[in-house]
Amino acid sequence: MSKEKLQRPPAELLHEKELARLDEADAAPRPPGWRLSLTAARDFILGNAALEVAPKFVGDPSLVERSLVTLATNRGLMLVGDPGTAKSLLSELMAAAVSGDSTLTVQGGAATTEDQIAYSWNYSLLVSEGPSERALVPAPLLDGMREGKVVRFEEITRCPLEVQDSLLSPLSDRALAIAELEGEQSMVFAREGFTIIGTANTRDRGVNDMSAALKRRFNFETVFPIADFDTELALVQREADRILKRSGVPEAPEKDVLAVLVRVFRDLREGDGTSGRLQSALSTAEAVSVAHSMGVKAWYTRQERATAGDIVDCIAGAAAKDSADDTARLRRYLEQKASKRKGEHWADLYAARHGLPG
């Protein structure tokens, strides 16, 4: 598979050269079934300048280390936190480092069924031959257990409780029963390297909260938003440059323009006496998305680099998803807060305020 024409290559394809360098230089002991040692997996995620491995996750290094240790045990890993705190990215990077494959993924939702998690059937073969290995259609959980790989379960608390609890036996007994088959084929036992990484948004608590039995089979780690302004700005700049180049845009917005964008997000995320805190999750990922939209808009409509004025056109969809009141809060921020900031880019933002929809 070539990554050149893929909109969003999986981590093991996007960073295959880095993984190969880490593998070649890796002399540390590797947990059973792992592609890399725990140390090399940490370097893949957090970076290793000596091996020209770029950092890919901005966060607490101890969180990454604890998470990798959990994956080397017989417990699952559950990453929780606000939307947009890079839980899914972290789970993907860990799966790529541990298994060399991050694609065994279940996307949780109200319509997710056990068939989509474990296995289903080719009904033509099922009718003509009856239950058989040939008629079995494996889903990510079954593939992960057979191949000894990490299975990622995104937004697990969006799934009904009975669907979530289908993970109990694979996590505790490392076994999955296929009741329709007979003999040895009726049980699948996990190979070394198999485990599960789940993610859940704190804002979804109470939707379908996990049972106590399932919680006991996971170690929970909380992924927090980026606390430092300069760190968040550097991440937005790096990611915006990367995805804009993939979109055919030669130049990302200037750093000073992105600094205005990140400051707006942080002000609205934290709230103040002027506009109040927005209900929308104004995450770093959303800031990158807005920077992407700004760059695309400026290049394909004007053949120019994006300006701070483009923030107004592109931020509404990110800032006003959950509540109509958020648009009013954003408008108050632009009218009252942006007007007091110093610098040409803040002046551009203030001048463009009337372009806010609604």
Residues 204-239 have pLDDT tens digits of 665 678 899 999 999 999 998 888 999 999 999 999
User: Helix or strand or coil: residue 62?
Assistant: helix
Distances (CA, A) of 188 to 56, 310, 346: 35, 54, 60
Are residues 174 and 190 in contact, defined by beta-carbon separation less than 8 angstroms? yes
CB atoms within 10 A of CB 52: 10
Distances (CA, A) of 178 to 9, 38, 50: 33, 33, 48
Beta strands 218-222 and 76-81, pairing class: parallel
What secondary structure does DSSP assign to 279-312, as a single string? SS---HHHHHHHHHHHHHHHHHHHSS---TTHHH
Per-residue pLDDT of the chain (358 residues; tens, 9 = 90+): 556 677 889 999 999 999 999 999 999 999 999 999 999 999 999 999 999 999 999 889 999 999 999 999 989 999 999 888 899 999 999 999 999 999 999 999 989 999 999 999 999 999 998 899 999 999 999 999 999 999 999 999 999 999 999 999 999 999 999 988 888 889 999 999 999 999 998 876 656 788 999 999 999 999 988 889 999 999 999 999 989 998 999 999 999 999 999 999 888 887 655 555 665 667 888 899 999 999 999 999 999 999 999 998 888 777 666 566 777 888 888 888 888 888 999 999 999 888 777 6
Separation CA 256–CA 262 (nearest Å): 10
Tokens of 44: 């893949």
Domain boundaries, the chain: 11-222, 229-355
pTM for the predicted model, two decimal places:
0.87
Separation CA 186–CA 119 (nearest Å): 12
Q: Which fold has domain 11-222?
A: Rossmann fold (3.40.50)
List, in sequence order, the alpha helices (H) in 47-80.
Answer: 61-71
Are residues 91 and 99 in contact, defined by beta-carbon separation less than 8 angstroms? no
Separation CA 65–CA 28 (nearest Å): 15
Residues 134-164 have pLDDT tens digits of 999 999 999 999 999 999 999 999 999 999 9
Tokens of 49: 């300048």
Beta strands 150-154 and 195-201, pairing class: parallel
